[in-house]
Amino acid sequence: MVAASKSIKEEASKPKLKRERLRDVKRKCDELRLETQVIARQSAFNRIQLGMPRWSLL
């Protein structure tokens, strides 16, 4: 048992492989892109509700 937990700790302390880091970055990028789209849609909806033309924000 002690040896098993030690090997798990050793594995956890190893740096991530390049492809794992790349996967994490891509996942985070996708999350941020989706979040940005939601914000843009909500902003457009709010402008419509307020009757504000898009150019008024420039």
pLDDT at 35: 97
pLDDT tens digits, residue range 3-49?
555 566 666 666 778 889 999 999 999 999 999 999 999 998 888 88
- In this prediction, residue 1 carries a pLDDT of 44
Q: Kindly state the tokens that stand for 36.
A: 């940005």
| pTM of the complete model | 0.54
Q: What angle do CA 13, 19, 21 make, to 5 degrees?
A: 55
Give how far Cα 25 sits from Cα of 18, 21, 22, 36, 38, Å.
11, 6, 5, 16, 20
